[in-house]
């Protein structure tokens, strides 16, 4: 194998790793966004309950039917640890708001 072939293989490997990193970032951003939407739905339901008849609340269980579980997807199982690490890092890393989605 010549030097050019090794260099080409190396750059192909870097491209594949970059694509995988982007995929993990994308999935993490979707998880975080869905969590934010869930919080908004719960808050809206709480507000509707406060404005409604206390004897017949429209949403007696604020959270009961809005959560989605993704562990039946093989991609989730494959990337679960990396996704959870990325989300945890985003929560604790003291950088700009823009960077939290990367």
Return averaged pLDDT per consecutive 10 residues of the chain, 102 residues in all: 72 80 84 87 94 93 80 80 75 51 44
- The reported pLDDT for the residue numbered 96 is 41
- The reported pLDDT for the residue numbered 8 is 77
Nearest one of 92, 95, 41 to 84, comparing CA atoms: 92
- The reported pLDDT for the residue numbered 70 is 75
- The reported pLDDT for the residue numbered 81 is 82
- The reported pLDDT for the residue numbered 90 is 63
Tokens of 25: 């970032």
- The reported pLDDT for the residue numbered 83 is 76
CA–CA–CA angle 23, 99, 43 (5° rounding)? 90
């Amino acid at each position: 194998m010549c030097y050019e072939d090794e260099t080409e293989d190396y750059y192909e490997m870097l491209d594949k790793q970059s694509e995988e990193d982007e995929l993990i970032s994308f999935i993490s951003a979707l998880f975080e966004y869905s969590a934010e939407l869930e919080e908004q739905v719960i808050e809206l339901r709480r507000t509707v309950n406060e404005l409604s008849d206390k004897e017949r609340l429209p949403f007696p269980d604020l959270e009961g039917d809005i959560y989605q579980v993704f562990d039946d997807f093989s991609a989730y199982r494959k990337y679960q640890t990396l996704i959870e690490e990325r989300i945890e890092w985003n929560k604790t890393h003291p950088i700009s708001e823009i960077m939290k989605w990367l």
